[in-house]
Amino acid sequence: MTGLWLMKSEPHVYPWEQLEEDETTHWDGVRNYQARNTMRDLMKVGDMVLFYHSNCKPPHVAGVARVCKEGYPDFTAQDPSSKYFDPKATPENPRWMMVDIEAVVAMSEIVTLPDMRANPALEEMPLLMKGQRLSVQPVPQNCFEIVCEMGGLQGIPT
């Protein structure tokens, strides 16, 4: 079974439109152990991703991406010029991981956080649960399908 995820990005840092232009990108800078473990241990090539714009008004799902490379060391952690530099990360113990994703399709209409909160069928979606702030998180299949439909897509893209 394909894994289904939500990954957050601030639009002023890396917007959906940039992923569409780049086609693929590495998902660097994640500095939370639970999110790191998800990328390292659970995310597989072919898994689908809701690309979520956070820290904007309104926060929203902008598109659907796909994992195209499984977890590997986040090289920005070992780059002193990077804002994601971690002096404790070494080649022997990289500490932080990333995956690569590729753009699949933009939502025909963005799916806003208020619209998701208003849909009772999405109550089990981790994004909508109190205290859930992880930048990489699982999405139940029924919730992924509903969000895609809310965005004007016919089910989960392939």
Q: pLDDT tens-digit profile of 52-76?
A: 999 999 999 999 999 999 999 999 9
Q: pLDDT tens-digit profile of 144-153?
A: 999 999 999 9
* Separation of alpha carbons 143 and 41, rounded Å: 22
Listed by start position, the domains of the chain span 4-150
Q: pLDDT tens-digit profile of 97-118?
A: 999 999 999 999 999 999 999 9
25 phi-psi bin (left φ>0, alpha ψ -120 to 50, beta other)? beta
Instruction: Dump strand ranges (E) for 17-116.
Output: 24-26, 48-53, 60-73, 97-112
Question: How many CB atoms lie under 10 A from the CB of residue 49?
Answer: 25
Token code pair at residue 132: 């859930």
Residue 40 has, within 13 A of its CA and on its CB side, a CA count of 14
4-150 adopts what CATH topology? ph1033 like fold (3.10.590)
